[in-house]
Every structure is written in C-alpha cells, then in structure tokens.
Structure 1
Amino acid sequence: MCSLDEQEQGLRSMQLGINPDDVEPILRKRQYVLQELVESERDYVRDLGQIVDGYMALMSLGINGGQSANVSDPSSLPPPVPDDLREGKDKIIFGNVEAIYNWHNDVFLQAIEKCGENVGELGPLFKRSERKLHMYIVYCQNKAKSEYIVSEYIDTYFEELRQRLGHRLTICDLLIKPVQRITKYQLLLRDLVRYTEKGSLQDEVDTLSRALHIMTIVPKMANDMMMVGRLQGFDGKITAQGKLLLHGQLYCCTELSKVPSKEFKELQVFLFEQAIIFSEIVGKRTQFIQPVFIYKAHIQMNKMSLDEKFEVGEAGEPLKFLVKSTDPRHTSTGGSGSGASSSGAHCAFVCYAPNPEATNEWVETIKQILQSQRDFLKAIQSPIKYQNEQQRLSGAGGASGSLASQHL
C-alpha cells in the first residue's frame, strides 16, 4: 500500500504530465541520500562524543589531579598531562568542539531525524540553523594552532589516551571530523536538490536550494578562516582587515627592474578589504600538520597603487602585475630579490598566479577594492556631487550600486 506522501507525489507527477513510473526511482534515490544524511549525522554525533566524553574528560581529570579517580586502583588514574599541555592549551586543542557537540546532540540530530520522514522540512531547518553553523568558522580558525600542539604529542601522550579509551581513531582523526562534516552537508544537499529537480517537486527544490546556498557559503568561510589561522607573526588585528576576498599562492618578487633574471618566490597571499598580506610558506603538509604562513609584509589598500600590466612578457610568459605602497613612510624598493621584510623597507611586489585566469581574478578583485575606495572618498568629500553622478549613471542604465554607497 502506498503512503499518503507517495500518493501525493504520484498525483503531482500526473498533473505535471510526468510518468509516475519515471519519478519513483528518482525519489527512491533521493530517499537513499536522505537516509545517508540521517545515519551519518548519528555517526558524527557519536564521534564528537568520543572527543568530549573521552579525550576532553580524561585531560580535564589529569589536569585537576584525578581527584575523582579511585586512588586504590592506579589503573583508574588518568595518564599525567605533560606540563606543556597545561595552562589552557587543552582549550586550544579542542576549541569550541564541545559547543558544537552539545548543539548537534541536543538539537540538530533530532531535527535531522524528523526530516528523514519529511524532506520538506530540511530546507527551513538549515535556514534556521545558519547562525549556529557559524560555530564551524570559529572552530576552523583555531584548527592550525590545535594541529601544531597535538602533533608534538601524537605518538606519546595522545596515543596513551587513545589506548586507555580503547578508541580505534586517533585524536587527529576525530578533530578533523567537524571540518569534514561541514563540507559533507553541501555534497548531500546538492544531491537532494538534483533528485528533487528531476522529480519536479518545485516547492522543495526552492527550499533545498536555499539550504544548499547556506552550506556553500559556510564551508568556504570556514576554509578561509582555517587558512588565516595558519598565518603567524602579523602584529595587526586580522578581524580589523575586513572580509577576506581572496587567498592563495602567488609568485612574488620585490625586484622592480624589468630584467628576465628576477627570482620569484612562491608566497601565500591574503587579500582583505583593508589590506593585502604577504607571507612565506613554511613546512610541508604531513599526516598530522599543515604548513604555516610566516608574515612577511603587508600593504594597506587605501595606500596602495596597482599596475595591472607591469610586465607583459614574451609569448608564453605570464602577465605580471605590481602592487605598491603609496605610504610616504615606506621607502621605494630596489634590487632585493624576493626578500621583503615586515619593516616597510620593501613595499612593492611584482606578482603573478599559477595560471592566467587566477592572475586576472586577483587583478580584477584588487581593482574593485581600489575603485570602491575612490568612490567612497568622493562621496565623503562631495556628497551632493557624488549622488548626482550616481543618479545620472542610474538614469543612463549604468551600475550605481558601488560599495561606496553602502558606506553612507
């Protein structure tokens, strides 16, 4: 006997002129994805519980001297916590994973399980949960520091804890779970949207698409913050630099003379709304740790010039662009190779990306920032004139929605 839900879907298919026999296997595949979402959520909560009720609980017991342990039974005492892991380092190791666990265990898991019976509730659930899901951005920003501390004791203290707990997975395997989970939602929602579209269930497509949009943005923000978390030595306040617009590896040189023998060095570059930060890549990716980025120099965007075609080069040579500080406190650069320093002595970089498309993206994004700053400056200096110009552009069909108007 068909359920009411299946009967309703069959009726809807006939109204749309779709053969119900064609829709049924599609909806069955969609149900498999939904089932995977529910079951994997249960597994995820269980894994988080192993962190909170396992590693965190034992470390806390060890730090507090094991007062609640049975002293007559030495085997009940937790392994002694190394001195270097005290003084709050346990909080760096685990970040906000306990808050993530509590929310998933107490709220989100039950809500996901209900969606297993009514997929139409899934889209609104992710919309309601958007702010809570931002906990993952905080977790990822702390991830680099956590990895570094754990890597120092992965084969000693944390291996002893693993054996004591009887866990199959290492602490590294467990601490990466939140990063993996936040991207898994996106993959599962994409499949749900695809099958729902094929089933012509337009109402559910709309709500699921909104959920997919949220779970496309949140993982990107989390990944961005995870990369920023690997930046070391920057004295400024990262949160004061505005939104992170681009990050990646560029080939950079501070030698401004147009000679072919210039040495370019691969740097990790972060482009924020307020500054562009250059850093050296130190270390290699291993099983337990990622490279870190050591701060090298930065240029404030409101004191920067761009030459987007500084070096065109011969056929086959990459186009290179120049970013240069216009701050009078910074001296002009000379022939110092790629060795810019954070002192401000070298505040010009010739750059290119691994491919022309990426180079163009960097150039266009920088141009947009600089243009928005020019617009903002005009709006501040001559607000009436600026508004008249915007109205004239709007009347002519031009784009009037510059970033500067958002600042007013």
Structure 2
Amino acid sequence: MKHKSEPNSPNFIRKSSSHDEEKLLKLKDQRYTWPLTFRDLRKPMNLLIQGEKDGIDYLRVIIDMYLPEYRKANKNGILPSSLVGKEKEIFGNIEEIYQFHQHFVTELELYKNNPTDVGCAFVNNIQRIRDIYCEYTINKEQNGAIHHEAETVRFFTQILHKFSGNNNKPINSHLDFVYYKEKNFNVNFDSVLMWPVQRLFKYSMLLNELIQFAPYEIKEIKIVKEDIDGITSYANGIVKLADIEDFTVTSDDIFCMADEFVVTEPKRVFKREKEYQVFLFETSILLTKKEKNEKNSMRYVFKDQIMLNDVHLVEHLNDVHLVEHVDNGKNKFGLRKLNVVSSSDNTTIFKAINEKVQLQWIKKLREFTVAIDPNQDPSLSKKSSTTTLANDNYRSSFRSPHSYSSSRPSSSTTDPSSNRNSRSSRDSCEIPHSNGI
C-alpha cells in the first residue's frame, strides 16, 4: 500500500492539537519532507525487528545445542571437572532472555508501520528488560573469566565442531548451520553469549535514530532510551557493590546508581579534593576509594556515608525552597547539612565527569531529598508526592545485590491499532507503571 505524503496522513502523525499540526508543518518546511521522513524512520525500525529475529537465531544455538550438550555431559559424568556445577555461572539466565525475545519480537512487529509509536512496546516491557538484563550482565561480569578458561573453550569448541561440520544435528533441534554460514553468523560459544550485552547498545543506537528522524518529539522513546542506557551502568554498579570493603550492604539498602566523582569534603584540611567511587541509595550515599588488590583487580574501600535525611541538595536550579547555587559550568552539585550556616565549610561538593552524569544525579537526589525532607515548603510537598508516586514503579527496580529475585512480572502485548491511536491514551505508555509493569 502506498503511503500518502500529506502532513495530515494518519500513517504519519498522531491525532493532535492545532499547535502540534503547526509544528509538523514547520518541520516539513525546515528539515523534513514526509516521504523522506517515513523512509528514514523505516530503516531503524526494520533493523530493530530484523536484529531481534537474528538474535533469536543466535540464542537458539545455545538453547538447542550448547546448553543441552552441557547438561547431557553432566548427566553422563563426562563433563570436565572445572565445569561441573557451573551451569548458572556459565549460562546465566540465557533461557529467560531467549523466551523474552521470542515474545518481544511479536510486539515490535505490531509497530512496523508505526515506528514513532514503538516506544510503547519498550515501555510495556521495560521492567522485564531491566530485570533479565541486569541479572545477565551481573552474572557475566562476576563469572565471565570461566568462559575463557582453556577447558571451557575446548569443551564448547568440540561441541560446535561435532554439529557444524556435517549434517548431524542436536536431538530435537532445528539448527541449520548452512543458514548461519550464509548469514555470516559467528556461532562460537563466547560470541553467542555476547549477543545480549551487545543488544542493549543496539537498542540505544536505533532508538536514537528514531528520535533523530521523527518529525515531532516522541517523549516515550526518549524515556525508554534513557532507561536502556542506564541498565548496563546499573548492573556494573551492583557488581562493584560486592567489592566494597569495611561496609556491609543489606537488603534494605535500595541501590540506585554509581559513578566516579572528584569530591571536596569540608571536614578535611589538606587534600580536600579526592577521587571517589560514589554509590547512591534511596536513603544514603557511600563514598569509597578505588584501589587495586593483590590480584590486581579493583576493590572499593569504604570511606564515608552521607544520610540523605541529614542534608539538602545544593545545585544549579533556581528554587529557593530547595537549593542554593554552585558553579554549573564545572559539572558540580553539593550536599549541605541541615540546620547549619550556609557555607562551603558545611557542604560536600561532587564534581562529575560530565554534565550528563551531573544532571542524572541531581535528578535522583532532588527526588530522594525532597521526598524525605520534613522541613520542606508545604507547597512543594504535593509536588514531591506526585513525583514520588510517578516513579514508584521505576524506583522499585533498584535493588541491593542481595535482593535479586527470579520472579518476573508478566508483560502484556499492546496492539497499536487499539485506543492508543488517540493522543491522550498514547501518552499513558510514557510511564511504565501505568501499564502494570
């Protein structure tokens, strides 16, 4: 079916206000023509769907060959001793990831002709994506060395040679190695295990292209891209938590994120600026010093803990009820003790590596400190409650390394031909909790 190029074509725009229509017409005159825009949107959308299908083919090599052969060798007592009892460490939750992508590709295909709405497919599944990918990434970070051990490489290479060199297929398998060769797929064991990690980066890249070429702002795609970008960082932070010395992280400590900062502590007379690995929880901040241990791997030595109910945020936003000012041009923000004289002598200053990190931390600290500050202005209390409720589901995903559960919320398929075609209902997919995630 040939798509019309008029700006009011239902294939291209949402049912919107006159203001939106003006904006679209202006964009058409300035940068886009409708046929070009639709073609540019089609390309990342098609790559998104095809990449999902290719990924399922990749993962099927593990599900139909590597994993069954591992279990068979273990059952028959011929598994190399170094691999015995290591299924979880080697494969992680790869079966769960495979099952998810089999489901997710069907949702993406629903938006094939409506690429600007594909953000809804991600929103409806973002909690599940976060859960399964955090679990997989954490396991791979903590146990990845086993994949490169000589006995591991030898065992799985023998499996690949056994089935790829002839027509002998694993039992109950539909693997076609001729197909993999034609597609130029590298199906050695380590490469296949890397696909889930690489998929997150591919999601981010393709979502960014959709944002770039869309003829109007698509808020839900921007939100989802930020969420996808944060998954790997969050998982790496969880891994680092396990390496903190002289401090015990409990299941009550709800972890949010971690980054490196140059920190200026007011209580220090000499060498006030120090580089710290900083961990943010809902109720506190941990300052740790990154050092190498005797095995030349990183450890994080606990230095200080700042309770968020003892401080207020000092940042660049002009809100007299909540903040004071620091130099925004240097990617800084501060935490000042409550009920003390406003002075740099009472403020811990954090200098981020870039503005993006600075703004991410300010956003979360504003949410956490506003929510628990008993002395805040009453007019802001209502605003804070609304913000907190709107983020309850997102915040519930922050977990300590001791509280990761294998239970997963179910995801419901969303038909883009349903009432999401109205602007008001489409906006409901912008916040994950509105879909029961």
Report the TM-score, using the length of structure 1 for normalisation: 0.62
1:41 aligned onto 2:52: yes
Aligned to 2:4: 7
In the alignment, structure 1 residue 278 sits paired with structure 2 residue 287? yes
Q: Does 1:174 align with 2:174?
A: no
Q: CA–CA distance in 1 between the matches of 2:208 and 2:387?
A: 35
Q: Give a deviation string over 1:246-295, Cα, whole Å, max 9, x none.
A: 52113458894423xx38653311011112223343559xxxxx965435
TM-score, normalised on structure 2? 0.58
| In structure 1, distance between residues paired with 2:243 and 2:210 | 43
The alpha-carbon distance between structure 1 residues 65 and 219, as it changes in their structure 2 partners (threshold 3 A), is: farther
Deviation at 1:156, TM superposition (A): 0.7
Aligned residues: percent identity?
Answer: 18
**Matched AA of 1:269:** V
- The residue type paired with residue 125 of structure 2 is S
Taking only aligned residues, the RMSD between alpha carbons, in angstroms, comes to: 4.7
Map 1:370-385 onto structure 2 (within 5 A).
Answer: 370=369, 372-375=371-374
Q: Which residue among 52, 67, 73 is the counterpart of 1:62? A: 73
Among residues 141, 152, 157, which one is paired with 2:151 in the alignment? 157
Of the three residues 208, 213, 216, the one matched with 1:190 is 208
Q: How much has 1:296 moved relative to structure 2?
A: 1.9
Aligned equivalent of 2:97, options 85, 93, 100: 100
Q: Which amino acid aligns with 1:353?
A: K
Tell me which of 353, 357, 369 is aligned to 2:351.
353
Cα 1:160–1:255 change in 2 (3 A) is: farther
Q: Are the structure 2 counterparts of residues 300 and 257 from structure 1 closer, same or farther at C-alpha, using a change threshold of 3 Å?
A: closer
- The separation in 2 between residues aligned to 1:195 and 1:404, in whole angstroms, is 33
1:314-352 Cα deviation digits (max 9, x unpaired): xxx99896889xxxxxxxxxxxxxxxxxxxxxxx99764
CA contact (8 A) 2:255 2:281 kept: yes
Contact 2:333–2:362 under 8 Å retained in 1: no
Residue type matched to 2:214 in 1?
T
Gapped runs of 5+ residues in structure 1?
Answer: 67-76, 285-289, 310-316, 325-347, 379-385
2:112 matched to 1:116? yes
2:305 aligns with 299
Task: Tell me the secondary structure at the aligned position of residue 4 of structure 2.
Answer: helix
CA distance in structure 2 between the aligned counterparts of 1:65 and 1:146, rounded to whole angstroms: 27
Aligned to 2:237: 227
Aligned residue pairs total 326
- Structure 1 partner of 2:80: 81
Cα separation, 2, equivalents of 1:111 and 1:147: 30
SS at match of 2:276: strand
- State the 1:101 CA deviation: 0.4
Bigger Rg, which one:
1
Tell me the secondary structure at the aligned position of residue 383 of structure 2.
coil
Q: For structure 2, which runs of at least 5 residues remain unmatched after alignment? A: 13-20, 165-185, 316-329, 338-345, 390-437
Partner of 1:402: 384
Question: Which of 117, 129, 132 matches 2:128?
Answer: 132
One-letter code of the match for 1:401?
K
Query: Does the Cα contact within 8 Å between 1:33 and 1:188 map onto a contact in 2?
Result: yes
1:144-200 Cα deviation digits (max 9, x unpaired)? 443343314504123213422148455443333223212322321232243331xxx
Q: Deviations over 1:111-170 (max 9, x none)?
A: 33454355466344333333432334xx32453443343314504123213422148455
Any idea what SS the aligned residue of 2:33 has? helix
Tell me the residue number matched to 2:178: none
> Which stretch has the larger CA shift, 89-98 or 37-46?
89-98
Deviation for aligned residue 1:33: 1.9
Partners of 1:322 and 1:350 within 8 A in 2: yes
Three-state SS of the structure 2 residue aligned to 1:7 is coil
> Which residue in 1 is equivalent to 2:182?
none
Task: Classify 1:372/1:190 alpha carbon distance in 2 versus 1 (closer, same or farther; 3 Å).
Answer: same
CA distance in structure 2 between the partners assigned to 1:127 and 1:320 by the alignment: 31
